[in-house]
Amino acid sequence: MANRIKKGDQVVVTAGKDKGKKGDVVRVDGDRVVVSNVNVVKRHTKPNPQAGIAGGVVESERSIHISNVALFNPATGKGERIGFKVLEDGRKLRVFRSSGEALDA
């Protein structure tokens, strides 16, 4: 089954501490996604001169579960569910469930 959410999609977080935030999908790892400026954590890092790491407090984005994000529909301004439509030539097309509007051309 093809993923409903792909790299580069704009999504809205539907659950958790960052609920309501919008961002672009940076990476998809199975059932987890990394979204830009969402689930940002601080990590205190020791300096390592051999590896060229300066050390200090480093902020990075962590993954969240794919069920906690919904694809952003610019027409309605909301996060919506995604379905699939199979075309005559056998290609799968992602469509919004509410309107049936196609995502990919």
Strands (E), 3-101: 10-13, 22-29, 32-35, 40-45, 56-61, 64-65, 69-73, 78-80, 82-86, 92-96
**What local confidence, expressed as pLDDT, does residue 105 receive?**
55
pLDDT tens by residue, the chain, 105 residues: 568 999 999 999 999 999 999 999 999 999 999 999 999 999 999 999 999 988 899 999 999 999 999 999 999 999 999 999 998 998 889 999 988 889 865
pTM: 0.83
